[in-house]
Amino acid sequence: MNIAIIYYQLVNSGGGERLLIEEVKYFQNKGNTVSVLTFEFDKRSLFGQKINVVQFKRGKSYLTDILQLRLFFKKKPHDLIIANGAGGAALAYLATRGLNIPYITHIHGSKFWDRKEKIKYSFLFRKVFDKIYYSVIGHQENYPKHRNFSIIEKMKLELRSLIEYFGVKNSLFLITLTKQVKWELELMYKTKTIVSRPGVSKEFYLKKNISPTKDIIEMMEKIGNENKMILCVNRIEKNKRLDLVMKAFNELCNKRDDIFLVIAGRGNYLSEIMKLKKKLEYGSKIIFTGFVSEDDLKFLYKSCDIFVSPMWCAYGLTPIEAVVMKKKVLIANDSFVHEILCKNPLVKISEPNMNAFSENLLNLLKTTETINSFKMELPTWDSYFDKIEKELHECLNYSNQ
């Protein structure tokens, strides 16, 4: 098959981009030709991988973007489109009218997982808003229940909401990562949604030779073997709760003098976070690495004593990778990767506040239990895409009858 993946902004280096890369590799290994179509591109988002990226010039209007995609699909026929998000589904829907190209859509989190997204306030979702809003504490933390819009803003919001609604509704099916988000999407769109959970690759399990960079080696020498390392891997953005981790760590330093906090990632909130670091009594024990390579990341996993993920997040790959590396893990109770990690005795699920996080970190530092005796089946990239491919074949066979 000739497959196109629509990924409007390929500029970050997070879980979504890692999933994209694994998806390209999976379908290519199955003998398909795969292209990634994007309107904004930063090659760092590919984690050093070589994939076929087709970058379009971002148009002055939404219509221009649609026309560019439509011309592309008319010149180069495709058998399948994989859209990302409701916006990607809308582009696929409008760009392929009359071209008979089926598409499926990844929606990792509903509109309620994006604090800036206005569409959740649409008239279309008025009947389900309260039910979804009050189901997750992070929803309530990150945006208000009510917002006021000008008449023009409201008209634009409702129009975009309607376009995206039809885009999502016309997908063969939706793919999401957790039961919570499946529930939200089915309330919002009443569309077939499957839950398939990504995890780790075979390479992650099997790769033994790791070559960390000089900076990471020097950082570990600074921390020293006699001390404990708490690791957090996150984009440095306002809604990632890095301030919570830093404050909880600072509080913990009053009880333990043998700990360091390492935060790996980059983002547009770094200057604000650095201001907080300077204010904290034990800020000198908080280390920022910036962007890390795959080898650096795996080395950090192996070196840390506790992995912490404070995010309000519909899923989360990094806690799974930390569990695979047999590490103690602390996650927020509104990070819904807990659906599959909650039975692990070395995974603590915490209320997202400073006291709870600090207490749970202390308890994890004290525990001598090991993960070796506990066996659990964790998802892999292969199991994730196998489920999608099976559903895809069933839908395409049905639609071709």
Each residue of 283-336: pLDDT tens digit?
A: 999 999 998 988 899 999 999 999 999 999 999 989 999 998 889 999 999 999
Shared-domain flag, residues 221 and 135: no
Residue 372 lies in a domain: no
Tokens of 250: 């600072």
Shared-domain flag, residues 118 and 34: yes
What's the whole-number mean pLDDT along residues 134-155?
96
Tokens of 60: 């002055």
Each residue of 176-215: pLDDT tens digit?
A: 999 999 999 999 999 999 999 998 876 776 667 788 999 9
Q: What is the mean pLDDT of the chain?
A: 92
Nearest to 380 by CA among 205, 208, 193: 205
Shared-domain flag, residues 227 and 171: no
Shared-domain flag, residues 38 and 90: yes
Residue 374 lies in a domain: no
Residue 182 lies in a domain: yes
Backbone angles phi, psi at 196, to 5 degrees: -135, 130
Host domain of residue 271: 202-366
Nearest to 86 by CA among 101, 72, 107, 56: 107
Rounded CA separation 328/369 (Å):
9
pTM of the entire predicted model: 0.87
Burial class (CB in 10 A: 0-12, 13-18, 19+), 340: buried
Q: Say what the pLDDT of residue 60 is.
A: 79
Amino acid 109 reads: G
Residue 375 lies in a domain: no
191-195, 259-263, 374-378: the lowest-pLDDT one: 374-378
Shared-domain flag, residues 86 and 115: yes
Other Cβ atoms within 10 Å of 298 Cβ, number: 17
What's the whole-number mean pLDDT along residues 24-31?
94
Neighbouring-strand partners of residue 172: none
Shared-domain flag, residues 192 and 72: yes
* Number of alpha carbons in the 13 Å side-chain half-sphere of residue 178: 20
Sequence-separated (6 or more) residues with CB below 8 Å from residue 315? 15, 108, 109, 177, 178, 181, 197, 198, 335, 336, 337
What's the whole-number mean pLDDT along residues 153-163?
96
Nearest to 335 by CA among 244, 401, 256: 244
| Number of structural domains found in the chain | 2
Shared-domain flag, residues 234 and 99: no
Each residue of 279-291: pLDDT tens digit?
A: 999 999 999 999 8
In this structure, what CATH number is given to the domain that contains residue 395?
Answer: 3.40.50.2000
Is 80 exceeded by the pLDDT of residue 397?
no
Shared-domain flag, residues 164 and 224: no
Q: Say what the pLDDT of residue 388 is.
A: 96
What's the whole-number mean pLDDT along residues 89-110?
96
- Consecutive H or E run containing 340: helix 338-341
Shared-domain flag, residues 58 and 109: yes
Q: Say what the pLDDT of residue 205 is.
A: 65
Measured between alpha carbons, how far is residue 160 from residues 66, 86, 132, 142 in Å? 14, 10, 20, 22
Shared-domain flag, residues 67 and 124: yes
Q: Is 19 left (phi over 0), alpha (psi -120 to 50) or beta?
A: alpha
Is 60 exceeded by the pLDDT of residue 251?
yes
Q: Say what the pLDDT of residue 13 is.
A: 78
Neighbouring-strand partners of residue 55: 38
Shared-domain flag, residues 150 and 44: yes
Residue 240 lies in a domain: yes
Could you write out the three-class secondary structure of 67-105? HHHHHHHHHCCCCEEEEEHHHHHHHHHHHCCCCCCCEEE
Confidence of residue 376 (pLDDT cuts 50, 70, 90): low
Shared-domain flag, residues 160 and 238: no
Residue 96 lies in a domain: yes
Looking at the chain, the number of H-run helices and the number of E-run strands are 16, 15
Residue 376 lies in a domain: no
Interhelix angle 381-400/15-29, rounded to 10 degrees, is 60
Sequence-separated (6 or more) residues with CB below 8 Å from residue 267? 234, 235, 236, 237, 240
Residue 373 lies in a domain: no
Is 60 exceeded by the pLDDT of residue 401?
no
SS3 359: helix
Confidence of residue 370 (pLDDT cuts 50, 70, 90): low
